[in-house]
Amino acid sequence: MTPVTLFWHRRDLRLDDNAGLYNALCSQLPVQPIFIFDSLILEKLPKSDKRVEFIHRSLNSLNKEYQSKGSSLKIYHGNPAELWPSILQEWNAQAVYTNHDYEPYALSRDQEIHKILLSKGVTFLTFKDQCIFEKGEILKDDGKPYTVFTPYSRKWKAKLDNQAINPFPVRAHLNNLNQQKPIPFPSLDELGFSETNLGELNYDVSENKLQRYGEYRDFPFLPGTSRISVHLRFGTVSIRQMVNIARKNSESWLNELIWRDFYMMILWHFPHVVGKAFKPAYDRIQWRNNPSEFEKWCQGKTGYPIVDAGMRQLNETGFMHNRVRMIVASFLTKHLLIDWRWGEAYFAEKLLDFELSSNNGGWQWAASSGCDAAPYFRIFNPAEQTKKFDSEGCYIRKWVKEIDEFNYPKPIVDHKFARERALKVYKEGLGKEGE
């Protein structure tokens, strides 16, 4: 059997400008692409998960591209550590190439896989692909990681200005793919999942869209955002390509891409943020954690129209406008005094673009427990936010159909009362640090 290099697709479901795939294709051996549906992740998901369908759809498109070049993508389903020994045998693999992943589960999984490959004499190589600057590439002058976004972004931009970001020319090397008859592609049903009403997840990074991004991005009823997040999350587009587009068209949109790198860097340097407050003092806050109030928040039945609209949009589509994400997160943590971890977990279950680092960063920002977070005494007033960002009620009416009817619920809590209660509880929890 001909020896091959395996390329393991994970969060990089594309051919173009794929760092690990490019490096694999430049190795001496034919490259066989594979993907593993990880049962350890899948078994925790509902059986009609939009993200699984999106991955499946993206892999199908990717496979067609491979087949047009005389190759084929092999899909596996199971526990990666249990699958790898037989995968190596099946293909006579001499090396495995993939791209870095920075989340705790992925890091421990890759460590385990590395040991398995090492024991079989197989090389394991990983590459930076899903962010521009990673790990310790952007540090303060004293060598410590940044914990405030603005100086981080300044250093990030200065480093970027001194170098070109060139795409990896994958297509120039596709003749190095392993020539392979079409391999059967599993259906969603065979993976134990069913189709959802996913629809087309189109994005728009046109010059016209991005040049007006800063002006329109905060208004949830306008199509003012790029809708690129799910594509960045699963790597169906290249972050390098997006940053090059942003540099030409929108400083405001570029900053959003930098926030993504920032939160990945925070997760890397401060892994305790998974499950604990970035600022330890904030773990002393006495959350109320009322289950029935949490349920009303989840269902979009709080009696605060902007909050309810956001939660219903999330439940129905797997998406929520970023301004509204901040409003609903502030409401849960400050108005209801429910632990940010509850909200973080709910978003993790529902968001199509769920990314651990950004989701965690966003929730800790809202709860004031994170790095560079809103101060604890900053408590969004939903009525004022509505006046500013949905003054005509267009967004609210789209998602809260019964807004003018008698059966729309009364507010779950009075804003003034909730604000004073939150300030008191935060001050008590933080002690002198809250003064």
**Of the listed 259, 297, 365, 399, which one is catalytic?**
259
Catalytic residue, from 176, 255, 322, 381: name it: 322
Instruction: Report yes or no: 322 and 329 within 8 Å, Cβ to Cβ.
Output: no
| 57 contact partners, CB below 8 Å, separation of at least 6 | 198
Instruction: For Cα atoms 29, 31, 32, give the angle at the middle one, nearest 5 degrees.
Output: 135
Single out the catalytic residue among 84, 253, 363, 399. 363
134 is catalytic: no
Active site residue 175: no
Catalytic residue among 256, 290, 349, 381: 256
Choosing from 8, 253, 340, 342, the catalytic residue is 340
Candidates 60, 90, 287, 315; catalytic one: 287
Question: Phi/psi of residue 302, each to 5°?
Answer: -90, -15
Q: 78: exposed, middle or buried (C-beta count within 10 Å: 0-12, 13-18, 19+)?
A: middle
Hey, CA dihedral for 386, 392, 393, 395, is it positive or negative?
Answer: negative
Comparing CA positions, the residue from 161, 96, 292, 306 lying closest to residue 221 is 306
Helices (H) and strands (E) in the chain, counts: 19, 5
Is 363 noted as a catalytic residue in this protein?
yes
Estimate to the nearest angstrom the gap between the alpha carbon of 324 and the chain centroid.
Answer: 17
Query: What is the token pair recorded at 262?
Result: 């920032």
Residues 6+ apart with CB under 8 A from 293: 336, 338, 412, 413
Q: Strand, coil or helix: what is 59?
A: helix
Task: Specify whether 297 is catalytic.
Answer: no
Active site residue 322: yes
Instruction: Give the separation between CA 189 and CA 160, rounded to whole angstroms.
Output: 45
Nearest to 51 by CA among 190, 193, 186: 193
Q: How far is CA 339 from CA 273, 306, 371, 415, in A?
A: 14, 21, 17, 18
287 flagged as catalytic: yes
> Catalytic residue numbers?
256, 259, 287, 322, 340, 363
